[in-house]
Structure 1
């Protein structure tokens, strides 16, 4: 009994050691499903960018009115929200990265 317990522990540690030698970059590479999702999400992001640009142009007079009071950065905030973020999500986001950071101001 005194020999079996250390032998089992040693055997278990010996067999589990290769698990820690795994390359972590292989796990982070996009899979085939990520490419399939991007086939849908990229065009949707492009449509969102185009619609956001139109919405930005249509709402710019109202944004100008709200920019009269400080802080005077309403155009930048609104543009980031409806144009820049969808653009970055569509064109600069890596494949498979769905938690792409939003624009910070």
Structure 2
């Protein structure tokens, strides 16, 4: 939890800010290609969830949109 608070959260915040900036710059291109929502998820939503939503010390596969099936 200490490493999460001291390292992962600040890195996640920086990633969120960089993602927002990149998304703003890339928006005209993503609108033309029809990938605007996907780019927004990858560049803004996922880093923001990593930084602000998940529990302290919890590193799940937060970007996974599929269920892992164990044999």
Give per-residue Cα distances to partners, 1:47-85, cap 9 Å, x unaligned.
000000000000011101101xxxxxx211110001000
Root-mean-square deviation over aligned CA pairs:
1.4
**Consecutive unaligned residues in structure 2, runs of 5 or more:** 66-71
Task: Give the Cα separation in 1 of the matches to 2:13 and 2:4.
Answer: 14
Q: How many residues align?
A: 65
Which structure's CA Rg is the greater one? Answer: 1
Identify the structure with bigger relative contact order (alpha carbons < 8 Å, sequence gap 6+): 2
SS in 1 for 2:51: helix
Find runs of 4+ consecutive structure 1 residues off by over 3 angstroms.
Answer: none
TM-score, scaled relative to structure 2: 0.81
**Consecutive unaligned residues in structure 1, runs of 5 or more:** 1-33, 68-73
SS in 2 for 1:95: coil
